[in-house]
Structure 1
Amino acid sequence: MSSLKFGTSGLRGLVTDLEGGPSYAYASAFFRTIRADGGEGTVVIGRDLRASSLGISATVAEAAAAAGLTVIDAGPLPTPALALEAMRQGACAVMVTGSHIPDDRNGLKFYRAAGEITKTDEAAIIAALVLEEQPELSGQTASTMLEPEALARYRDRYRAFFPADILSGLHLAVYQQSSVARDLLSELLVALGARVSTIGRSETFVPIDTEAHRPEDTAFIHETMASGTFDALVTTDGDADRPLMADEAGRILRGDVLGLLTARYLGIDTVVVPVTAGSALERAGFRQVMRTKVGSPFVIAGMEQARRDGADSVAGFEANGGFLLGSDVSLAGQVLPALPTRDAMLPILATLAAARAHDVRLSALVSTIDAGETASDRIPDIPAERSGAFLARLSEAAYLSTFLRTVGAPQAVDQQDGVRIELDQGRTIHFRASGNAPELRCYTEARSAVDAEDLLRWGLAAAAAEVQDTGLRP
């Protein structure tokens, strides 16, 4: 059985299941749906820096050429930079990236000229898919036009919007690892006045997850910041659509905290977030907070609904830190056009700028929003049918009360994506099946880090006992 599957953001799976014919087949299905709608005749292709991405992007280019599309190679660049270029050219786009997952896996992210594909588009691609479509691949790069300026245009988007000295006085550590934005990020921070020290550059792929941090990454960040030399450490995941930032003490800021600070700094009116985002948002003074299922397609759909409902300015963000700008915003007379796809650069720059504007350190800035504490982890190797059966039972009031009896009584339940349960004393626990891996995920929130971790440990152990029960069936 192939590991390839559409999840919360694009198609992902093992490299061995994606290389060659399968990547050709999925790309061809995407291009067929574009053609069937009378859509774009040009495709822009980009990639991250993992070992398999160059070869897969060449296969995608062959599929595009066979479909009669004009092929533009944007080379290695951040996913939001590719989306920006596709919007500029009125073209569709394919990003070859596995985001934060390990190097033995990869994926494809698909874009129409207007932005990310929807869940309806995903269904259309699957319907158009012919996996038996196994052409004799030439192994040669299809005839393409190079577009080396796409990355520069993305860089200039932020250089033009933020004042040149807005980060003056900050000394920042840029953890470069294998992020496709590792040089761009350093360049932008220097252009905006910061002093930058680059660390940790790697020529092999490093799977940086901005939401579930690897122990070795956490240790490296703490060790780096223990010197007291830096005001903050910044980095991104592999394709630079998710940020990671640590404060002066080496404490990693949650992605939803970065999103909240960014939205507040930009003067956003309405925010759209998945149910995994912290409850501080409802206390932050936004005119409206809309919650959706997990995944950027759902956040984008929520932003579009907010605009139709008359919101003045709209943004979305996720617990992983990816920030989606749903409307144009202004700052000091400069306008930043909407970019409704996950972006790492804007939350990094805006959060640092907010700290400078208030003349405080990052830790002090975060303390102003009463964000509480969260924790999350996953139970691996749990088949979807077992996760589904467990979540279905949690939706039964009697079973839920029995399951929670040692930690508290449910105060409210949200079943928009998995089961999110509000307990007493500001605590929540949320179980959901991963959208792109055989995992059951658990998220907790509490007023202290100790309580959040304790609740998480309980949740993982209790859920593991349930999903391993051989009597548990859909």
Structure 2
Amino acid sequence: MTRKLFGTDGIRGKINHSPLTADVAVKLGQATAIILNEIHKNGKKKGKPKLILGKDTRVSGYIYENALTSGLCSCGVDVYLVGPLPTPAVAHLIKSFGADAGIMITASHNPAGDNGIKFFDCSGYKLPNKEETKIEGLVLNNELDASNFSIVDVGKAHRIDDARGRYIEYCKSTVLNQSMSQFKVVLDCANGAAYKVAPRIFQELDIDVVVIGDKPDGLNINKDCGSLYPDKLKKEVLKNKADFGVALDGDADRIIMVDEKGDVVDGDEIMALSAIYMKEKGRLINDKVVVTVMSNIGFYKAMKENKIKVETTQVGDKFVIEKMRSTGARLGGEQSGHIIFSKYITTGDGVIAALQIMRAMKHTQKKLSELKKCMAKYPQVLLNFDVKEKKDLEGIKEYRKRAKEIEFELGDEGRILVRYSGTQNCCRVMIEGKDKKVITKYANELMGIIKKEIGA
């Protein structure tokens, strides 16, 4: 069934355009409240359901924070507002406060003109598709009525003052509050949700930190900074002679790193070095790691050489986490930088990932450039382009024919992955192989064929 509101990571879109309108947000709040009340009643819990509500630094966050709060309170849920905090902080605070659910208002790595809404259950995990579809059904079928909630039934909104401090202390505890004074780090907060907490965490662990991207104005989140734009971070690492750099995205659930030489270290490389280190220390349960179809061939080869099993899912950290839970894996993530250390957190967390890499560097006494040598990346070309519709690609005869020819030509030393974005109206063509020139030519060919048929 095609869903109208939810994508692969909650609801996302342009502000004040369907489905990201204030009135829909009110209804989403009411729908969530109705489901929470039902769960509360069936569990014979006392009092009203509690929900943690966070946001990133987008100016539009005020729209959805107020609209969701209105909908939730009108149908009997107490809302605990934590203000601008990372997505993983919301996931952690749900458990810390014993809340029944959580919502994060963010469009993650997208530009400021977009926003989104992510939903979490009482354990801090993103809602499975089944629960999201239930919320969507209530909204679209107009099955919402707050008139049954009297003055004593409606919820209240509370502002939590110590939310930031709780998350800061928890992150530090994942490395046992050990001093990391030997490191000089450049930290790019993407003018996003981590701009207050991430620098403090690093400072309180005695890290010599140079902070950039920490002056949000509501409009500059992810703008030429953060995990999608590491160029400034590279320059700052070299200029400051830092040991490495850390780039977060708008809601800090992603991390991309830069080594002391100014070279980017992506999610695959972070997972590869983490998996090998964790296995050596006996911390990689079942010697298994979970990744998505986007992971580089070089990652699979590195894991095979180190006798580490790899489970592969579709794109989306939610699906990675679901597979981790079903297989008991302790490490998983995406090439894009969602890294999940399931011992500590229920979703991708850029800050916690950075701390775990520092711990590995400290214990091995190796530089980041040395640790990342465990994996030899294959050249990869990724092209993104807008489309007017998400037509079945197999139905495009010319594309189907040429894709098969290219797959044959690449053989075992390359692969093609063409897919639509789950959160945007665009198509992504990814090709890996030994020769960058050849795969660039192939990728442009396939993009041209698809654009001719359905390009925006």
Conservation of the 8 A alpha-carbon contact between 1:33 and 1:128: no
Report the counterpart of residue 240 of structure 1 in structure 2: 252
Query: 2-side partners of 1:160 and 1:440: how far apart?
Result: 41
Q: Pick from 313, 318, 332 the counterpart of residue 292 of structure 1.
A: 313
Residue type at the aligned position of 2:222: I
Report the counterpart of residue 202 of structure 2 in structure 1: 189
Q: CA RMSD in A?
A: 3.1
Task: Give the TM-score normalised by the residue count of structure 2.
Answer: 0.84
Q: Pick from 80, 85, 106 the counterpart of residue 115 of structure 2.
A: 106
**1:195–1:457 CA distance, 2 compared to 1 (3 A):** farther
Q: 3-state DSSP class of the match of 2:211? A: strand
**1:315–1:226 CA distance, 2 compared to 1 (3 A):** closer
Query: 2-side partners of 1:372 and 1:116: how far apart?
Result: 32
Relative to structure 2, which stretch is displaced further, 452-461 or 150-159? 452-461
Query: 2-side partners of 1:168 and 1:393: how far apart?
Result: 57
Provide the identity percentage: 22
1:173-192 Cα deviation digits (max 9, x unpaired): 11234121123222222233
1:405-426 Cα deviation digits (max 9, x unpaired): 3x4516xxxxxxxxxxxx3363
Q: CA deviation at 1:79?
A: 0.8
Report the counterpart of residue 303 of structure 1 in structure 2: 324
Report the counterpart of residue 198 of structure 1 in structure 2: 211
Residue type at the aligned position of 2:288: T
Report the counterpart of residue 13 of structure 2 in structure 1: 13
Query: 1-side partners of 2:30 and 2:332: how far apart?
Result: 31
Q: CA deviation at 1:125?
A: 1.4
Conservation of the 8 A alpha-carbon contact between 2:213 and 2:225: no
Conservation of the 8 A alpha-carbon contact between 1:212 and 1:377: no
Conservation of the 8 A alpha-carbon contact between 1:276 and 1:294: yes
Conservation of the 8 A alpha-carbon contact between 1:11 and 1:108: yes
Question: Is 1:127 the counterpart of 2:137 in the alignment?
Answer: yes
**1:12–1:399 CA distance, 2 compared to 1 (3 A):** closer
Task: Give the total of aligned pairs.
Answer: 425
Q: Pick from 316, 321, 330 the counterpart of residue 314 of structure 1.
A: 330
1:272-330 Cα deviation digits (max 9, x unpaired): 211112231453235431111111232222122213xxxxx52221122112233x3xx
Conservation of the 8 A alpha-carbon contact between 1:210 and 1:244: no
Report the counterpart of residue 283 of structure 1 in structure 2: 302
Residue type at the aligned position of 2:71: A
Q: 3-state DSSP class of the match of 1:74? A: strand
Query: 2-side partners of 1:209 and 1:429: how far apart?
Result: 30
Q: Quick check: which one's strand share is greater? A: 1
Question: Is 1:383 the counterpart of 2:404 in the alignment?
Answer: no
5+ residue gaps in structure 2?
A: 147-154
Report the counterpart of residue 409 of structure 1 in structure 2: 408
Q: Pick from 128, 133, 145 the counterpart of residue 118 of structure 1.
A: 128
Q: CA deviation at 1:439?
A: 0.7
| Match runs of 1:107-256 below 5 Å | 107-114=116-123, 115-130=125-140, 143-165=156-178, 167-204=180-217, 205-208=219-222, 217-227=229-239, 229-256=241-268
**1:226–1:77 CA distance, 2 compared to 1 (3 A):** same
Conservation of the 8 A alpha-carbon contact between 2:390 and 2:425: yes
1:76-108 Cα deviation digits (max 9, x unpaired): 111111111112314211111111111111010
5+ residue gaps in structure 1?
A: 136-141, 308-312, 329-336, 411-422
